[in-house]
Structure 1
């Protein structure tokens, strides 16, 4: 059974990497011209598909890495560096620009009925950051109960993401550009701190070190 702190850490990491506030303006742009029912269908489908993708990575991610000969220590370090980079992008407003480019390409190359799969479900919701975070979290869960707890955390994150997309227009007006910028920077700082911790954990595990906490 996973500890409450591990689950809380995992939930925070997931929410920061998924970044529901950052998805809102992209969702509004991607669903322009749709009515409320169509937007709800797109939001629901994207949330369900991304949830299922993350569950697969949570359950089988470590097994795939083992099959490839990649240790969890190495993946913790690599994943931590990736999450740190994403956090820095959020602080300096680079991640949103990259996401907007992805969404623009998708509109021109794919049919609007498929935007729930691409780019919403993947890579905007279940992207490299959230997938890496999910595999790292899955590596800490041992046993059926712990895995079930992680799946519940993923489900809660998916429900919050779905609710954010449903309330996209209202939240966008409430936050405004300034509010979104401030929130994104705060979340970026949190993510960089969590990423550093992942790297430290990977180094400690890889070299068999023992840290003394003061």
Structure 2
């Protein structure tokens, strides 16, 4: 896997997990937790989200194949869902606003670090879809999938660091900064989603990505 592919996968995972967008969710989730427990809270949420995402990495495609679904079809469906998710990031409320609003409705039933922090903030539906799309058993060798797992672990570590420093980061960039970053990530995610649909169409033999279609610079 070359540097370009590594960078692409890291950016994809970073956008899908969105460590910056999880900061307001973390601050909301720990608002009733003693300050001395904040780091333990963040660590627990990251571990739970990591287990969910690594579960999809290992078992996602196997589950699809077990019920007779083609990964190409999943890539197309996942790409469409990710595109719609990206549109909400660009034009709608930010991820954190939506998740905090939902959590406010269920404040009496919050399960510690699980909801809304581990899921759906860190291990979002988009991240689960993206993990399966990135680890195609037919085109990705085991070492390449191990690299994807390593990149996911790196993104989760960045997420954990962001939560450890959440108060300082939020004080520095505020809601406005987080909103701007979220919308930029939405644009990147929309591009990734379109690419996933094209790759899915190609894998099903319905579309061919021709290198000659790109004009030489």
Partner of 1:84: 83
Partner of 1:100: 100
The answer to whether residue 148 in structure 2 is matched with residue 150 in structure 1 is yes
Cα drift, residue 73 of structure 1: 0.6
Q: Give the aligned CA root-mean-square deviation in angstroms.
A: 1.7
Q: Structure 2: which 5+ residue stretches go unaligned?
A: none
Partner of 1:186: 184
Higher mean C-alpha deviation, range 143-152 or range 123-132: 143-152
Cα drift, residue 35 of structure 1: 3.0
Partner of 1:139: 136
Cα drift, residue 16 of structure 1: 1.1
Cα drift, residue 212 of structure 1: 1.8
Cα drift, residue 167 of structure 1: 0.8
Q: What is the aligned residue count?
A: 210
> Aligned partners of 1:106, 1:19: CA distance in 2, in Å?
23
Partner of 1:58: 57
The answer to whether residue 119 in structure 2 is matched with residue 122 in structure 1 is yes
Cα drift, residue 22 of structure 1: 1.6
Q: Structure 1: which 5+ residue stretches go unaligned?
A: none
Counterpart secondary structure, 1:207: coil
Counterpart secondary structure, 2:32: coil
Contact 1:86/1:95 (8 A) holds in 2: no
Contact 1:13/1:194 (8 A) holds in 2: yes
Partner of 1:159: 157
Contact 2:29/2:113 (8 A) holds in 1: no
Deviations 1:24-53 (A, max 9, x none): 112111111323331101100111111121
Counterpart secondary structure, 2:135: helix
Contact 1:30/1:107 (8 A) holds in 2: no
